[in-house]
Structure 1
Amino acid sequence: MSKNQEAVEDHRDTEALLAVLDSADRMPGAARLRARSYELLSLVPDSTVVDVGCGAGRAVVELAERGVHAIGVDPSPRMLAAARERWPEAEFREAGAEELPFAGGSVRGYRADKVFHVLQEPARAVAEARRVLCPGGRIVLAGQDWDAIMIDSDDPPLTRTIVHARADLLGTPRAGRQYRGLLLAGGFDDVTVEVHTGVFTDPAMLSLLARLVEPACAVGAVGRDRADEWLAEQRRRAEAGRFLVAIPFFVASATASA
């Protein structure tokens, strides 16, 4: 593949990810969950708060509107370019969760939303969060558990196979249920965990099911014919008003010890 072709593919991948993130931001309850994560940060006016894996940057702007110095961090130059185009007044830096561009103890708040499930070594990210947070600083981790997505179906075994196969392609698909253990092992205090279950009955969520099925087919976990039959059943459910997907979103918070 030529460099030009690689650039085109990278652009398409970024655009596809942006579309997924924008769709997630529009989900019922998404704004409420973001607001809850800001509340759990116990924001201190004019203090520095970092949003790790900031993506398109919406949370960075919303945090800044609450009176803090918000900085978005993301490892993708293309994603950061999109964020800067959307929010030119906001501050963004290129970095991964395992190596943040901040001095030790210089950050008052740390937030990572829908990030830890793609990390291969989430404990490293927690250790880095502990390094940059000042004593008494707050950390909030939020995200879905990819292995616990619930879908009403006439074929539960096939549904479980599809959900598990898609989950197993991620770095840490069960990160949500592991937040508490990670924070405790990382030396944080006052660890709390909430679970907010999103229940979706809108046929627009059929696109999510397609994003579950295609990777499962690609790795051979499910045959194309069975996958197509499963998707057809879900479309029939949507047309009949019997469509339902439930996704548990974990929100964990803790305090950096002195």
Structure 2
Amino acid sequence: MTHDAHHATTRDDMATMVALLDAAEQRPEAVTLRQHSYDLLHLRAGDTVIDVGAGTGRAVAELASRGVTAIGVDVSEAMVSLGRSRYPGADLRAGSAEQLPLGDGEAAGYRADKVFHELSDPAAALVEARRVLRPGGRIVLLGQDWDTIVIDADDGMLTRRIVQARADSVRRPRVARAYRTLLLDAGFDQVSMEVRTGVFTGEFMLPMLTGFAHAAVRAAAITPEQADTWLAEQRDRAAADRLLLALPIFVAAGTGPGRG
């Protein structure tokens, strides 16, 4: 689940964020990436898998459709409640990545999508992941690198300041590029790493770009006037089908020790 979704405090904020997430998650490349992450888990029918940062539960529902027991955990009780209403019967629970509501060795698979950049201690979360995974269980981590987001704009230097300011507002903006190291340090084997780049061109990205610009103003990286000018350009680009944002998504997978 994204940083912004965790900080959506009002009903309108939540509705806006969920609408943005829905639009992004329904794009063909996003669907393909999710399915790829499920394949990397190497699950068999009847296996238990935990989806950490489950949000509204889309991945939990999709995993369950594969014949496995899917459990979703999210730190936001509001998102858990929303997920239960959207996917009746889905097993969604409130909890944190550092204290998962599962027993030792209960899961065959662990998946976390856009979560680790918000954690204060990713290494501790991986200790917890190993606890809930059975011997030889699989783990898959997905997440964006906030420092390498690409936005097409006329003023490259201003855009660079906006992207950097937004990245600096995230607790761990570069953790995704460290997934491989984190998994190896946590004792996982057969660790793989790849990067998939999502390219977004629709006007539905304007709320995200607005958030980027406002974060830069709050950080005093740009002036309000610069933000207004930059956003006006992005709105014009969207209207003319010229908006482009490229988001690198790192995907790492590994196998827990003690296969058998």
TM-score, normalised to structure 1, is 0.92
Partner of 1:51: 51
Q: Cα offset for 1:106?
A: 1.4
Measure how far apart 1:13 and its partner are: 4.2
Alignment of 1:1-258 (within 5 A): 9-258=9-258
Cα drift, residue 9 of structure 1: 4.6
Percent identity among equivalent residues?
54
SS in 1 for 2:141: strand
Say what the alpha-carbon RMSD is for the aligned residues. Answer: 1.7
Deviation at 1:211?
1.8
Corresponding residue number in structure 2 for 1:4: none
Deviation (angstroms), 1:243? 2.5
Kept after mapping to 2: 8 A contact 1:113/1:141: yes
8 Å contact from structure 1 (residues 145, 174) kept in 2: yes
Which has the larger displacement, 31-40 or 146-155? 146-155
Tell me which amino acid in the other structure corresponds to 1:216.
A
Which 5+ residue runs of structure 1 have no aligned equivalent? 1-7
Q: Secondary structure at the match of 1:220?
A: coil
Q: Displacement of 1:27 after TM fit?
A: 3.3
1:219 deviation in Å?
2.4
| 1:3 paired residue number | none
Displacement of 1:237 after TM fit? Answer: 2.9
Taking the aligned partners of 1:219 and 1:89, their CA distance within structure 2 comes to: 43
Whole-Å separation in 2 of the counterparts to 1:136 and 1:248: 29
SS of residue paired to 1:89:
coil
Whole-angstrom distance in 1 between the partners of 2:240 and 2:90: 45
Instruction: Name which of structure 1's ranges 204-213 and 182-191 shifts more when overlaid on structure 2.
Output: 204-213
Cα distance per residue 1:66-116 (max 9 Å; x no partner): 010000111111111101111111111111001111122111000011111
When residues 13 and 240 of structure 1 are mapped into structure 2, their CA distance, relative to the original with a 3 A threshold, is closer
Secondary structure, in 3 states, of the residue corresponding to 1:29?
A: helix
Residue 11 of structure 1 contacts residue 78 of structure 1 at CA under 8 Å; is this kept in 2? no
Equivalent-residue separation in structure 2 for 1:220 and 1:243 (angstroms): 25
* C-alpha deviation, 1:206, in angstroms: 2.4
How far is the alpha carbon of 1:199 from its aligned partner? 1.5
Separation in structure 2 between the aligned mates of residue 207 and residue 83 of structure 1, nearest angstrom: 22
**Which sections of structure 2, spanning at least 5 residues, go unmatched?**
1-7
CA contact (8 A) 2:23 2:204 kept: no
User: Cα distance, 1:12 vs. partner?
Assistant: 4.2
What residue in structure 1 maps to residue 5 of structure 2? Answer: none
Shift of 1:28: 4.2
Question: Counterpart of 2:3?
Answer: none
Structure 1 residue 174 displacement after superposition: 1.2
Letter in 2 for 1:172: R
> CA–CA distance in 1 between the matches of 2:34 and 2:123?
23
Structure 1 residues 28 and 210 mapped into 2: Cα distance closer, same or farther (>3 Å)? farther
Whichever residue aligns with residue 139 of structure 2, its letter is: I
Summarize deviations over 1:173-202 as a string: whole Å, max 9, x none.
112111111111111001101111112222
Distance 2:24 2:178 in 1: 22
Q: Which moved more, 1:237-246 or 1:116-125?
A: 237-246
CA distance in 2, matches of 1:63, 1:122: 24
Return the offset for 1:16.
3.8
Cα distance change of structure 1 residues 17 and 245 upon mapping to structure 2, 3 Å threshold: closer
